[in-house]
Amino acid sequence: MVTIICLIRHGQTDWNKQGLVQGITNKRLNEVGIKQANDAADFLLENDPTWDVILSSPLSRAYDTAVIIAKKLHFTQEIKTDPIFMERQFGAAEGKVLDKVMYEEIFQEKIEGLESLADLQKRGLSALSKVNKAYPGKKVIITTHSQFIKGILSALDPDFDFTMYLKNSSLNYFTITNGQIKIWQYNITK
Which residues have CB under 8 Å from 83's CB, separation 6+? 57, 58
Whole-number average pLDDT of the chain: 97
Q: How far, in whole angstroms, is CA 184 from its chain's centroid?
A: 15
Q: Is this model's pTM higher than 0.75 or not?
A: yes
Bridge-based pairing of strands 171-177 and 2-9 is antiparallel
Mean pLDDT across 147-164: 94
Mean pLDDT across 145-170: 95
Q: What is the predicted pLDDT for the residue at 109?
A: 95
Residue type, 187: N
Question: What 3-state DSSP class applies to 152?
Answer: helix
Q: Write out pLDDT tens, residues 67-102.
A: 999 999 999 999 999 999 999 999 999 999 999 889
Q: What is the predicted pLDDT for the residue at 162?
A: 86
State how far the Cα of 178 lies from the Cα of 82, in Å rounded to an integer: 24
Q: How far, in whole angstroms, is CA 83 from its chain's centroid?
A: 12
Residue 172 pairs in a beta bridge with 7
State how far the Cα of 114 lies from the Cα of 73, in Å rounded to an integer: 36
Q: What is the predicted pLDDT for the residue at 40?
A: 98
Lowest mean pLDDT among 23-27, 58-62, 104-108, 179-183: 104-108
Walk me through the domains of the chain, giving residue ranges and CATH numbers. 2-88+115-188 (3.40.50.1240)
Q: What is the predicted pLDDT for the residue at 60?
A: 99
Question: What 3-state DSSP class applies to 4?
Answer: strand
State how far the Cα of 128 lies from the Cα of 106, in Å rounded to an integer: 24
State how far the Cα of 135 lies from the Cα of 3, in Å rounded to an integer: 8
Task: Indicate if the pLDDT at residue 44 is higher than 90.
Answer: yes
| DSSP notation for 48-116 | ----SEEEE-SSHHHHHHHHHHHHHTT--S--EE-GGGSPPPBGGGTTSB--HHHHHHHHTT-STTBPP
Q: Write out pLDDT tens, residues 89-148.
A: 999 999 999 998 898 999 999 999 999 999 999 999 999 999 999 999 999 999 999 999
Eight-state DSSP code of residue 164:
S
Catalytic residues: 10, 87
State how far the Cα of 54 lies from the Cα of 68, in Å rounded to an integer: 11
Q: What is the predicted pLDDT for the residue at 96?
A: 96
